Chain A
Amino acid sequence: MRSLFLSRLTAIWLLLALVTIGSWVVGHGPGLVDHRLAGVVALVIAMVKVRFVILDFMEIRHAPLWLRLAGEVWCAGLAIGLTTLFLIG
């Protein structure tokens, strides 16, 4: 039982929860004075979280290359696309 819950999954969940609170502070708390920088940081943090969910919770970290590549390319593409759209806005 201990090995089941004291696992990499639990460490990732804790990390994601802490990062979520951190990005919330950046967006709403004292955070960053530069709103554009704060927005970019929030978007990048969101996509890093999404990548962890895809690789570790969805278990495609060790999946066949085509599946892992599809996940990685979608994450990177969306991160670049959203950040660009945000900055030109």
Chain B
Amino acid sequence: MSKKFVHPYIPNGAPELMEQMLKELNISSSEDIFKEIPKHLRFQGRMNIPEPKLSEYELKRHVEGILKKNQTTSDNLSFLGGGTWDHYVPAVCDTIGQRDEFLSAYVGDAYSDHGKYQALFESSSMIGDLLKMEAVSTPTYDWANAIGIAARMASRINGRKEVLVAGSMSPSRFSVINNYLKPEISLIKIAFDKTTGLMDLDDLKRKLSDKTSSVYFENPTYFGPVEHQGEKIAEMAHAVGAEVIAGVDPSSLGVMKAPSDYGVDICVGDLQPLGIHMQYGGGLSGYIASRDEEKYVAEYPTLLFGVTSTLQEGEYGFGHVFYERTSYASREKGKDFIGTTTSLFGIIAGVYLALMGPEGMRELGEGIMQRVAYAVEQIDAIPNVKVLYKDNFFKEFVIDFNETGKTVETIHKALKTMGIFGGIDLSCSRQFPEMGEAAIYAITEKMTKEDIDRLVTALRKVC
């Protein structure tokens, strides 16, 4: 019965057109083409897929009906962070991200997609401005993917097979790279200092050797504190000939030192804070950058877009840089592998950085830090509740609930009834259960004093 409609997405489903084509081909149906598939390989049944919602409105009712079962961070007050953050997304970012030209383009060359190349080149350029680095790749799947790529690049550069990582790094990012570095490269965690939350340099010293290929740390750390020891870590790693990889939140770079200024060789992170909606974790987009030296550039597995000249004097043209590196060009002989990643998000991040400019990025960073400082002060004053690793945060901090005698789960359940989403529960077995009842709270520029006060009041009530 549904077949009597010509589907709006299938123009040649119109009987007259179909007939014309079949006639031209002198066949009676698609079966004359599918005849190449032997009978026993044909699917004889019917896929268990619902009847189509043919009218657009019917579809809209249906999908929105499901979405209505969600509770959002805009209808609640959310302190969740840890890799996806609830930053403000400027309207222009949405406008550009929804342009059909960018939305629906793919792998066309610069001759048909000049704008795509220029946009991604500019995104790389502005990320490079934040990092003070000149080689920046098109986006990766996510931050974790970028760490894995960087560690493998380092290993190819120096031929070593041991990667030391900050013990405080995000467990899910750790899980990704743990798989990505197998089977050849081993991953060793460096302990973090229990009072500062920063890397334990003694432990680093013990584990560094001439086998160390690279050292990875995050700045700010997963727990929130700024890793002040970046320069020292880089110095120690370089002393044994290792590469230094840092995972840096780009939203911090209006106020925080550029990674290349403290010795980072390869910098990675996520573009999600730069104008990309959270989308239930779907907004991730990794970046990866380094100095512009052949030894690094030759090891990128990703697509690299470069600016060049054209037959028209003074015109910019774009193209692939050093394309033969990639698995598209060289299959298994390429560096790792490349595929469809997150280019559209990369373009949006560029729009965001241009909107913000140097002053906007500074105000963003400072504003977040002020809100966090205020929140920390207020929360720390709650009886039995304390904030760990104090006076040293960017946009996240750890609240220690151990002395309340309550579990994070209980506390967060109570907060939820008040319309508050508590932060990441570290007591979960996949997080840092050894820290007991503690949670990472994130605060972005969207938070007002009233929001923070509301949390504090709620915590006082619950704890």
A binds B: no
* Chain A interface residues (CB < 8 Å from chain B): none
